[in-house]
Structure formats: C-alpha cells, structure tokens
Amino acid sequence: MELTKSEIEIADRYLSKRERQLAQWPRRRWLMLVIFSVLALVGYRNVSVGERDIQDDKATDLQVSQALEKAPPPGLEHHWAVGSMMKVSKILELRHQVVSYALMQVAWGTVWLLSGAIMVILIILRWNTGERDALICKLLRGKLQELEQVDRANTNAARSGSSS
C-alpha cells in the first residue's frame, strides 16, 4: 500500500486526534453517564408532576362547590345564577390552563426521559470500546511508521540516485 506524504500527514493527524479522544474517554463516559442519568430523572419527575396535575380534579371540584354553596338572596336569583356561572367558567378556564401546561410538561418530560435513557443505554453499550479502538490505533500507528520509513528510504534513495 502506497500513500503520499500528504495522505500520511492526514492519517497521522486523525490518528492523533483519536488517541487523544481515547485518553479522555474514561472521564467523559462517567461525566456523560451522570449528565444523562440526571436528564432522565428530571424527565421522569416532570412526567410524574404533570400527570398528577392532570389527574388533580379535587381542587377544581372544591372551588366550584365553594362558588355554588351560598344560597341566592331573595329576588336576585337570576343575577346570582349568572354570577355563579361566571365564577365557575373562570375556575374551569384556569383549570384548562393548568391542564394545558401539565400536558406540555408531560410531553417535554417524556422527551427528556427517553433521550436520557437512550443515551445512558448507548454509553453503557459502548463502555469498553476504548480498548478495541486503542488496539486499532496502535496497529495503525505501527503501519503508519512503516510507511513513513519506506517513504523516507525512497526519498533518500531518490536523492542519492540524483546526486551521483
């Protein structure tokens, strides 16, 4: 296999970059594992809180019953009914806003939970790939050095042949 000098330099640059990455991988994998685990836990918490808010109708029922529990004053039943219905509609509107926010919270929490869990699984699956990659880098480094020696020998032979 013959490589030009520029190809050898490119290969050396990429090989050096990969070796630096492999040297940092043990620290990075723990850091990434912690970060994505926290992301998954925050997502789970958001999903739990959002679902609890969606299912929490007791507070709304209590507010509606408080708005309707007083008896209408004599002669103002119509005005009382209109006022009570306006109070109830305002309570239900606020409940709708809470449920809408909770649905968004559940959606974002689900995305965070799934993203974090998938990344944790991928990190665990790739936990020991550094050993394999380090061996490949070592083999490639040896082959690259052989190619550089052959290239130097060819260059020296060409110089000594042209100078005679």
pLDDT in tens, 13-53: 888 888 888 888 888 889 999 999 999 999 999 999 999 88
Is residue 140 domain-resident?
A: yes
**pLDDT, position 36:** 96
- 90 in a structural domain: yes
**Who's near 111: CB < 8 A, 6+ residues apart?**
43
pLDDT at 35: 96
- What is the predicted pLDDT for the residue at 163? 63
The total number of structural domains in the chain stands at: 1
For residue 164, being part of any structural domain is answered with no
Question: Which stretches of the chain drop beneath a pLDDT of 70?
Answer: 1, 162-164
In a domain, 102, yes or no: yes
- C-alpha neighbours within 13 Å on the C-beta side of residue 99: 12
Identify the CA nearest to 28 among candidates 96, 100, 118, 129. Answer: 129
- The parent domain of residue 37 ranges over 5-70+79-156
pLDDT, position 145 = 83
Is 161 within the bounds of a domain?
no
> Is position 47 within any domain?
yes
112 in a structural domain = yes
Structural domain includes residue 115: yes
